Amino acid sequence: MSQVLMAHGGGGELTRQLLVERVLPRLANPLLNPLLDSAILERPSGRVCLTTDSFVVQPLFFPGGDIGRLAVCGTVNDLTCLGARPLGLSLALILEEGLELETLERVIDSLARTAEEAGVPIITGDTKVIERQRGDGILINTTGIGVLPEGLDLRPARINAGDLVILTGVPAEHGLAILSVREGLGFETALASDAAPLNGLAAPLLALPGLRFMRDPTRGGVAGVLADLVEETGLSVEIEERALPLSPIVRHASEMLGLDPLNVANEGKLVIVIAPADASTALARLRAHPLGRHAAIIGQIKPSTPPLAELITAIGGRRIIQRPMAEATPRIC
């Protein structure tokens, strides 16, 4: 038996075997091990944060990551952005009939490694099987629970004109890496996805009183977060193209595909807004972390009517930045 069968989702002996032999040993931890109907956590001090995300990725494996790694990073990072310390994740697997068990194991292995990297255990889970339907092989939902330290309030309402905008590293790597495995594009790149859990990177910033806001620029790219900022604060944002930490390879790959790197997805970056007084400290702490080596101050919040996100281009001209309309589609021509 090397493939997932409908019976693996039936709740009988096969289900138990699948879990006990293939899934659980890879995820073992004290909270999960009792395999109760629910995970039991001690009541934390502070407020509780809850977030959920579903993962549908094709192909399942790509340079720098896979659906398992994304499923941990996405949810951990959503908690991280609010300043919450993640306590645990639930894991719901929806498997397609016919999926190679070996593929499942690879995904779970990666998921387990990423959970360990983040220091966040999988504390409860569920597995179902759906009929073969040219689906995605594996769909994953993770829900994350976290605790928000007393007094921490990271909401756009606290942003002021004059605050600085930090990007924690080179943008667009995830989206470009995914495109390189898209069928029919004939695009190869040395780039790998940046998918990474960011709780460790963000943790040393939480004590800074000037920290106002963090968001991970996933599908809408950095441009999407800047557009959010403008909408949610009614203020303007001015970004300096020359300050963007763009690596030559990202620049060229984007240029080649006709994409604006600000519009391309990331899975391991944060856009941070911080008061000027704390910006140097924040930058130093970010750069001391392996995931923040290329962190840079890329711009500033401005008072302005009408509220706009603008880019000062490399040659000193101005243009506006908008949320991309749809998924960035390449144009090789």
Give the residues lining the site for another protein (CB under 8 A).
Answer: 164, 170, 176, 180, 184-191, 240, 242-249, 251-253, 255-256, 258, 260, 276, 279-280, 283, 294-298, 300, 306, 308, 311-320, 322, 325, 329-333
CB of 309 to another protein, least distance (A): 11
Closest to another protein by CB, 40 or 333: 333
Nearest approach, Cβ of residue 105 and another protein (Å): 32
Closest CA to 277 of 158, 168, 166, 164: 164
- Which ranges constitute the DSSP H helices of 234-290? 248-257, 276-287
Shortest Å distance, C-beta 301 to another protein: 12
| Distance in angstroms (rounded) separating the CA atoms of residues 251 and 248 | 5
CA distances 158 to 147, 187, 318, 323, Å, are 20, 43, 27, 22
- The single-letter DSSP state of residue 45 is S
Three-class DSSP category at 86: strand
- Mapped onto helix, strand or coil, the DSSP state of residue 213 is strand
Measured CA to CA, the distance from residue 296 to residue 311 in angstroms comes to 15
Q: Which is nearer to another protein, 131 or 188 (CB)?
A: 188
Minimum CB distance to another protein, residue 267 (Å)? 19
**CB of residue 132 to another protein, shortest distance in Å:** 22
Burial of 218 (0-12, 13-18, 19+ CB in 10 A): buried
Count of CB atoms within 10 A of residue 157's CB?
10
- Angle subtended at Cα 60 by Cα 90 and Cα 24, rounded to the nearest 5 degrees: 35
Write down the least CB distance from residue 260 to another protein, Å.
8
